Amino acid sequence: MAITTKAAATPLGQRLRQDGLPVLVVLTAILLLWYGLTVWLNAPGVIERVLPADGAWAWQQLVAATMDMQRPVMPAPHQVAADLYSSLTGHPLNSPRNLLFHVAVTAQSTLVGFVMGTVLGLVLSVCIVHSRTLDRALLPWIVASQSVPVLAIAPIVLVILGSMGLAGVAPKAVIAMYLCFFPVTVAMVQGLRSPQVIETEMLHTYAASRWQALWMLRLPAALPFLFPALRVGIAAGLVGAMVAELPTGAQAGLGARLLTGSYYGQTVQIWSALVMAALLGLVLTAAMAAIENLALRHRRQA
């Protein structure tokens, strides 16, 4: 929501004034709740292991101790923030101890897969719109795949590509690709069909070829359908890239970071990786929204 372009500046300003305070209040409540949970969840462990066994401790000591554990059940927000800060500033960018390194690894496979999936989806949707056979034979399967957990075949893709000798970015990008591909195809078929009969007939009277009709009428008309699908697609691609990092024993990437954190009980590390994954998701989607604003800026004014 924090996307600023010149065209959207005024409504954003209004929105900030209107929604800024409530959002801030809710965020503060979440933060307080988090601290509450930290105390509540960590207290049993602290009482058992850290505080003097004879019961001679005040509640202040208890609260302080819950927020300063090595491997807490629930790390306090400031512990996660400190871990993030030391990870981001304490190590060079190419060191695996720097979280930005892992973010870059995951973002790279997400973006590569996203671009491939989008191109594939665009090409296929153009084919479907121009071929009745493909429309009737193939489209129902693509639509049906939306209700199926396609992410489940990720391990299969990894095994197949692994036995073909592909490793590194390629398998992760392929998984991100096919997750992006489905929503883009479905939305683009809908969008390419959105021009009304009167518009297609006008191009027909101009003796426009199919390609001209596609280029001048159908593609521009499909853009408002495309962008929401791209936002869905890039978020799905991120999940795909992270899941793809799990079974390979990958050394790098946010998914691998989550897995090693859970192996070694490093809760703070898991939470930092989660925060970075959330931020990456937000940034990727915000970038898509910014491109959307830029591409459709003339229509908004009309």
Partner 1 sequence: MSRTPRSAASTALLVLAPLVLAGLFLAAPMASGQEPVGATFWLATLALAALAVAGIRRLAGLEGRKIYASLTAALFGIWVVYFWQLLTVALEVPRVLLPAPWLIVQSLVDHLPRLGKDFTQTVVKAVIIGWVLGSGLGFLVAVAIDRLPFLQRGLLPIASLTSTIPLVGVAPIAVMWFGFDWPSKAAVVVLMTFFPMLVSTLAGLQASNRLERELMHSYGASYGRTLWSLRLPVAVPFMIGALKINATLALIGAIVAEFFGSPTSGLGFRISTEATKMNMPLVWAAVLVAAVTGSVAYALLVALERRAAFWHPSVRGKK
**Chain residues that interact with partner 1, rule: CB under 8 A:** 1, 18-19, 21-27, 41, 73, 132-133, 135-141, 144, 146-149, 151-153, 155-156, 158-160, 163-164, 231-232, 235, 238-239, 242-243, 246-247, 254-255, 258-259, 261-262, 265, 267, 270-271, 273-274, 277-278, 281-282, 284-285
* CA distance linking residue 253 with residue 75, whole number of Å: 22
Cβ closer to partner 1: 78 or 90? 78
Q: Which two tokens stand for residue 88?
A: 């981001």
* Chain centroid offset of residue 68 CA: 31
CB of 57 to partner 1, least distance (A): 25
Contact 258, 273 (CB under 8 A): yes
Q: How far is the CB of 86 from partner 1 (least distance, A)?
A: 21
**Minimum distance between the CB of residue 241 and partner 1, rounded to whole angstroms?**
9
Measured N-to-C along each axis, helices 254-263 and 267-295 cross at an angle, to the nearest 10 degrees, of 160
d(CA 174, CA 122): 16
For 109, other C-beta atoms within 10 Å of its C-beta total 29
CB of 285 to partner 1, least distance (A): 4
Contact 232, 292 (CB under 8 A): no
- How far apart, in whole angstroms, are the C-alpha atoms of residue 3 and residue 149? 31
Distance of closest approach, residue 156 Cβ to partner 1, in angstroms: 6
Toward partner 1, which CB reaches closer, 144 or 302?
A: 144
- In the complex with partner 1, the residue whose CB is nearer, 6 or 132, is 132
Residue type, 201: E
CB of 222 to partner 1, least distance (A): 21
CB of 258 to partner 1, least distance (A): 5
Query: Smaller CB distance to partner 1: residue 30 or 294?
Result: 30
Q: Which is nearer to partner 1, 57 or 81 (CB)?
A: 81
Considering the complex, state which of residue 9 and residue 23 has its C-beta at the smaller distance from partner 1: 23
Structure-token pair, residue 16: 């900030």
Choose between 33 and 90: whose C-beta lies nearer to partner 1: 33
Rounded to the nearest 5 percent, the helix, strand and coil shares of the chain are 80, 0, 20
Q: Closest CB to partner 1 among 42 and 98?
A: 42
Task: Give the shortest CB-21-to-partner 1 separation in angstroms.
Answer: 8
Query: With b meaning 16 or more CB within 10 Å and e meaning fewer, what string describes 120-152?
Result: bbbebbbebbeeeeeeeeebeebeeeeeeebee
Burial of 119 (0-12, 13-18, 19+ CB in 10 A): middle
